[in-house]
Structure 1
């Protein structure tokens, strides 16, 4: 079954990302990258840390300095350092 086409306006940066994902050959790697990108975006949009903030409320914003968000930033920094930059 073919998925319906979606019409939308994308920025240049968004278009580059979509095209880069589409250019990955159909493979288990593509499936894994696609799933990981989706999960990463969902986490960044709505972080749900397991711990409580110092004020007793659960984390719900990426602008806090909770341990989980700091861990995610470190993971992203480590990943960025390992992936060779291409211009």
Structure 2
């Protein structure tokens, strides 16, 4: 298995944004990365559990892809003017 690959549409970063790359963890699970090094720290609540952002590491409910029919909150663009 390669250590990383390009992300497919719908694969998510741990912050909830669309992932750009997907990395293989040492346990064999895959984890997405959007390319923004803030880890979602400035993007509000955790998109996977609704609680505060997790540190260190991803939310225990993180999934590379949301289940079918789930609504994803988009934190990729700042809100307001």
| TM-score between the two structures when normalised by the length of structure 2 | 0.28
Structure showing greater relative contact order (alpha-carbon pairs closer than 8 Å, 6 or more residues apart)? 2
Q: Which has the larger radius of gyration?
A: 1
- Please identify which structure carries the higher strand content: 2
- Please identify which structure carries the higher helix content: 1
| TM-score between the two structures when normalised by the length of structure 1 | 0.27
